[in-house]
A = this chain, B = another copy of it.
Amino acid sequence: MPLTSDFSLGKVAVSMTPRERFEEFLQARGKRITRQRRAIVEHVSAHHEHFDAEQLLAELRGSPEGARVSRPTVYRTLAELVDAGLLRKMTLDGRAVYEHDYGYPQHDHLHCTGCQALIEFSSDELSRLLDAVASRHQFRAAGHRLIVTGLCRDCRSTRSRARHQDRV
């Protein structure tokens, strides 16, 4: 996954690093660029595609030097990253999960209940279909969340083995 991307994506042409974009966002609002906020953008944009607050917190704890950040600050900063358009937030079960939303095309997910993997896919046909549905109901669609649950290829074969989590 590139740290920087510069392809065009619908409306906006992307050409800043996530960190730059975040700092711009902060400045525009009179917010400050702190050690903690920097540590979080850097870490988030350099790593995993999907994660939750607790995971991020743990990783920052294990990080090198002064990348230590408190739990409230992690939550506060994640919300800002969502506002800034860098991350997208979704809720899986009762837990918030974040994914990159900057320089990445719109997509939906296949969620494996075996290994908890999130597999991305996208479908133009789907967007068209949803537009049609919305207008049929005189509904102004702003977005959607679609998660197909089931078993991924690996878990289909490994099915009855130890891989499964306790809760389904």
Partner-B contacts on A (CB < 8 A): 91, 93-94, 96, 110, 112-113, 119, 121, 123, 125-126, 129-130, 133-134, 136-153, 156
Contacts and interface: CB of A to CB of B under 8 A. Distances in A.
Among A96, A113, A134, A148, max chain B CB count under 10 A is at A148
How many copies of this chain?
Answer: 2
A114 to B, nearest CB: 10
Contacts of A133: 110, 121, 123, 148
Contacts of A93: 91
Given A145-B146, A146-B144, A139 B123 contact: no
A145 B93 CA distance: 11
Contact of A139 (B134, B143, B151): B151
A155 to B, nearest CB: 8
A138 B150 contact: no
20 contacts: A110-B137, A110-B139, A112-B139, A119-B137, A121-B133, A121-B136, A123-B133, A129-B129, A134-B150, A137-B152, A138-B156, A139-B148, A139-B150, A139-B153, A140-B151, A140-B156, A143-B149, A143-B150, A144-B147, A145-B147
Contacts of A94: 91, 94, 96
Nearest to A147: B145
Given A110-B137, A133-B148, A146-B146, 8 more contacts: A91-B94, A110-B139, A119-B137, A126-B126, A129-B129, A137-B152, A141-B148, A141-B149
Contacts of A142: 113, 149-151
- Sorted nearest first, the 3 A-B pairs with minimum C-beta distance are A138-B153, A142-B150, A141-B150
